[in-house]
Structure 1
Amino acid sequence: MTTHEPDYRFTRPGALIAALPAVLGFVPVRSLVLVSLEHGEMGAVMRVDLSRAVDGDLSHLADLASASGADRAVAVIVDAEGAQCPMCNQDYRDLCDALTTALSTHDMELYAGHVVDRIEAGGRWHCVDGCGAFGTVEDPMASPLAAAAVLEGRRLYPRREDLQAVVDLADAERSAALVPVIDEYAEAREARWRADPDDCGRRDVEAVMAVSARVCEGAELDDAELAGLACALTDVAVRDTLYALAVGADAGRAETLWALLARTLPEPWRAEALVLLAFSAYARGDGPLAGLSLDAALRSDPEHRMAGMLDTALQSGMRPEQIRELAGTGYRLAKRLGVRLPPRRSFGRRAV
């Protein structure tokens, strides 16, 4: 997972550590977090489970850090038990030595390494290399990045598992029961599509926008409605038009619907909802949700072209403003179909 926030410069470890939940979308525990620095500013941020970092190859982490164009990085090791164990510090030194070696292959420097027991106000951190530096973590909710995230509609989760639940299938039995309903609906839709593809596509896009508004008002969708939405997402013209909703005034409504469909639809229809959710999250700067959505989509369909392209972009640190340019295709398709989409909204600079 990578994220970017070029508008914030951190000179205090306690402030940098406090900013991590806002960047990652959740409070990391038992983790190695690598923060790349671009000209002294926070660049790409990556997290791996601490157990994997200790036992695994760190070259991929170094590859991701270097892709952002940074020349140095800071390692933050989050370990509640180990932070209180003086003997454990040698393990942290070994980990940072391995990370230094991996980064050096990309001409990057490990600028500093910190160990912290917990990322909350009053958490304790100290340096890994025995320099004697130590201190307390500032309040994560008072971080400038936390304020920016809240203003832009991002939710901060207490655990990674809570964020994961946004994209996980909620009810496998109901999902499986939808398969015959979708198949039956698909037959009827095929006949309408053959008669007039543009009219069929226009009706589907308008239906999606109407349903997204209802869902945001608390409406529950029946099986027939879910089947109709599933089939609409498999129409290339409809799906590519819907990507434009991510940059429109009603982007929040659309994203709520994509998340609902990702938790409800069976495969292979679920993959399309996951990719739409990923694109929407990426466009507004929510790299953590985009990354989890893409992971799930690629597990479902490893050959999905849009999922693969977005995953490559996210891993390489491509910024949201570049991704949002893809929505232009959706507006052009909407014009061809005769659909009026919500107007584009303005975006400030935000994290990925």
Structure 2
Amino acid sequence: MTPSSTTGSHITDPAPIDLRDPGELLAATPHLLGFEPSDSVVVIGHRGATGTRIGNVVRADLPSVGEETDLARQLLGPLLHQSVAVTVAIVGGRPEGAVGPPAADVVAAVGEVFESVGLPLLHALWVPKIRAGAPWRCYEDSCCAGHLPDPSSTVMAAVSAHAGLVTHGSRAAMERQLHPVASEVLARRAAMLRRRVRDGLRDDAASLRRGRAAVRTVLARTWRGTPLLSDTEVVELAVALSIPEVRDACLATALPVGGAGAMTAERLWLLLTKHTPAPERAQPATLLAYSAYVRGEGALAGMALDVALKADPGHVLSQLLRQALQHGLPPEKLVGLARSCDGGPIWTPPEDGESPNRSSPTDPTARPTGPPDDAG
């Protein structure tokens, strides 16, 4: 049993949250995760000398009876590095007609496991759903209660919107954007790739130049808007990304973190993740995961790594990134991976004042909006 989502904050360095108002913190959870949780346990790490800034955040489905301690131990790993204390929030989980907050055994297990390693539990909160006006309350003090503010009007919502990020209505909604295109399209492209392999893939200077040029051309088109990719282009890009030097140069497009160029590249990696057949799909999915990870969106990074490892279980870089995510390695620790790439930049955004497409990197057609629904 593993947490269904392990994530750093959706915002790389969010504004301080007033911990005297638990309702504000609960209302911010969709923006911290990148999606609205439901029937979930969410553990929020607090960092800084006074614990008033948000660190890593982890979420999992509520466990079955008897699995509470095992889940608490798994939730602990990503929060050990930077946290000085934690808040646990249970979202949903109360059966019809029940009285009082549900999942008290989960809260107790989290408190016991985290406090055993010196991470005190600052708050234990419950809310039935993340909606404006929803009632919330604390576990230990029945007088500690209130109603949620509008999640779309919190400080975290404003920071998220300013960054051009989408907060999805559920984990499933975030995951759906990675679903591949029609199987017959993928089968056609897979056949083309097999023919390319039979003809022999060369690893020489000419192939490297051709691969870099193919990526650079499509990145320039992505800057202007979401490109329509032909079968030939998808195959050409898949071949290009199979060249280690090209793939490594593409890692560097994630820098500077959150910049217009990085967001443009991330949109392309998402598009290619949907349009490329397995096992070649692992390459763009890993680039998407890396870009999402270094800008602090661990949920998307985890989903992209799931896709990459399903496409190619032996993909080494995906395995390394998965380990980093599971252990809560801070995003800034991974920035050096892109900085260590040899060679010049594979592409840089235009400097002539032309404006990039401002769509979210996690959905080529989306704008920052609120939620649908599903198990988060």
- Is the structural similarity TM-score above 0.5? yes
Corresponding residue to 1:318 among 329, 351, 354? 329
What's the offset of the Cα at 1:268?
0.8
Q: Is the CA contact 1:15–1:143 (under 8 Å) kept in the aligned structure 2?
A: yes
Whether contact under 8 Å (1:246, 1:327) holds in the other structure is yes
* 1:83–1:116 contact (8 Å) kept in structure 2: no
- Say whether residues 1:2 and 2:15 are aligned partners: no
How many angstroms apart in 1 are the aligned matches of 2:38 and 2:79?
Answer: 24
The answer to which structure has the higher helix fraction is: 1
Q: Which moved more, 1:158-167 or 1:4-13?
A: 4-13
Question: What do the CA deviations read for 1:237-267 (whole angstroms, capped 9, x no partner)?
Answer: 1111111111155222221111111112111
Deviation at 1:219, TM superposition (A): 3.3
Query: Matches of 1:323 and 1:343 in 2, distance apart?
Result: 26
Tell me if structure 1 keeps the 8 A contact 2:266–2:288. yes
Matched-pair contact (CA < 8 Å) for 1:17–1:76:
yes
Distance in 2 separating the partners of 1:296 and 1:14:
35
Displacement of 1:81 in angstroms is: 4.5
- Cα distance change on mapping 1:283 and 1:107 into 2, 3 Å: closer
CA offset at residue 185 of structure 1?
Answer: 2.8
Distance 1:276 1:162 in 2: 21
Deviations 1:249-291 (A, max 9, x none): 5222221111111112111101111100111112222222112
For structure 2, the 5+ residue unaligned runs are 1-5, 352-376
1:304 offset after TM fit, Å?
2.2
Instruction: Tell me what 2:154 maps to.
Output: 143
Counterpart in the other structure of 1:60: 73
Equivalent residues of 1:84, 1:117 under 8 A apart: no
Aligned residue number for residue 236 of structure 1: 244
CA–CA distance in structure 2, aligned partners of residues 27 and 54 of structure 1: 26
Separation in structure 2 between the aligned mates of residue 146 and residue 53 of structure 1, nearest angstrom = 34
- Cα distance change on mapping 1:255 and 1:223 into 2, 3 Å: same
| Kept after mapping to 2: 8 A contact 1:121/1:140 | yes
Deviation for aligned residue 1:17: 0.4
Per the alignment, residue 349 of structure 1 pairs with: none
TM-score, normalised by the number of residues in structure 1: 0.86
Label 1:340 to 1:110 Cα distance change in 2 as closer, same or farther (>3 A): closer
Q: 1:230 to 1:145 in 2, by over 3 A?
A: same
- TM-score w.r.t. the length of structure 2 is 0.81
For 2:103, what is the secondary structure of its paired residue? helix
Contact 2:58 2:75 in 1 (8 A): no
What secondary structure, in the 3-state scheme, does the structure 2 residue paired with 1:303 have? coil
Structure 1 residues 302 and 52: alpha-carbon distance in aligned structure 2, compared to 1, 3 A threshold: farther
The answer for the alignment partner of 1:253 in structure 2 is 264
Partner of 1:185: 196
Determine the structure 1 residue equivalent to 2:173.
Answer: 162
Q: Which moved more, 1:112-121 or 1:44-53?
A: 44-53
Find out whether 1:274 has 2:278 as its counterpart. Answer: no
**How far apart are residue 177 of structure 1 and its match?**
2.4
Change (3 A) 1:245 1:66: closer
- Determine if contact 2:216/2:347 at 8 Å carries over to the other structure: no
Equivalenced residues, count = 334
In 1, Cα distance between equivalents of 2:263 and 2:319: 24
Higher relative contact order (CA 8 A, sep 6+): 2
| Cα pair distance change 1:163/1:54, threshold 3 Å | farther
Any conservation in 1 of the 2:23–2:148 contact (CA below 8 Å)? yes
Q: Give the residue type in structure 2 aligned to 1:208.
A: V
CA distance in 2, matches of 1:33, 1:164: 18
Task: Select 1:34's aligned residue among 33, 40, 43.
Answer: 43
The one-letter code sitting in structure 2 at the alignment partner of 1:67 is: L
Using the TM superposition, give the Cα deviation of residue 53 of structure 1 relative to its aligned residue in structure 2, in angstroms. 8.1
How far, CA to CA, are the matches of 1:54 and 1:27 in structure 2? 26
1:48 and 2:60 equivalent? yes
Of 105-114 and 227-236, the range deviating more from structure 2:
105-114
Q: Is the 8 A contact 1:274 1:297 kept in 2?
A: yes
Q: Name the CA distance, whole Å, in 1 between partners of 2:262 and 2:147.
A: 38
| Shift in CA distance, 343/218, structure 1 to aligned 2, threshold 3 Å | closer
Q: Is 1:15 aligned to 2:24, yes or no?
A: yes
- Comparing 256-265 with 280-289, which one deviates more in the overlay? 280-289
Q: Percent identity?
A: 31
Displacement after TM superposition at 1:314 (Å): 2.4
Matched, 1:300 2:311: yes
Aligned pair partner of 1:118 in 109, 112, 129: 129
What's the offset of the Cα at 1:341?
Answer: 4.2
